[in-house]
Structure 1
Amino acid sequence: RNRTRECRAPRSQDRGKRESYKQGPKEEEPAHKALMALELYG
């Protein structure tokens, strides 16, 4: 059961990112970079 949950999570995230990029890539790019920085430095 845990494996299925892990597989579903990334898929849903990828779909959300793709939709957001289509709607407004300029707004999502800096936000995505900020999240990446938080993960690296956090």
Structure 2
Amino acid sequence: APRSQDKGRRDNFRQGSKAEEQAPKALMAIDGVGWD
């Protein structure tokens, strides 16, 4: 049981990392447009 829980955490972390990788690009694009 602990092993499957750990695997789920790793999958969630992997998905979160992908989302965070795209976030800075969106923020930079908004910055470039000059939105506040």
Where does the alignment leave 5 or more consecutive residues of structure 2 unmatched?
A: 26-36
- Poorly superposed stretches of 4+, deviation over 3 Å: none
Give the 3-state SS of the residue equivalent to 1:10 in structure 2: helix
TM-score, length basis structure 2: 0.58
Aligned-partner Cα distance in 1 for 2:15–2:24: 14
Structure (1 or 2) with the larger CA radius of gyration: 2
Aligned-CA RMSD value: 1.2
1:8 counterpart residue number: 8
Where does the alignment leave 5 or more consecutive residues of structure 1 unmatched?
A: 26-42
2:20 counterpart residue number: 20
**How many residues are treated as equivalent by the alignment?**
25
TM-score, length basis structure 1: 0.52
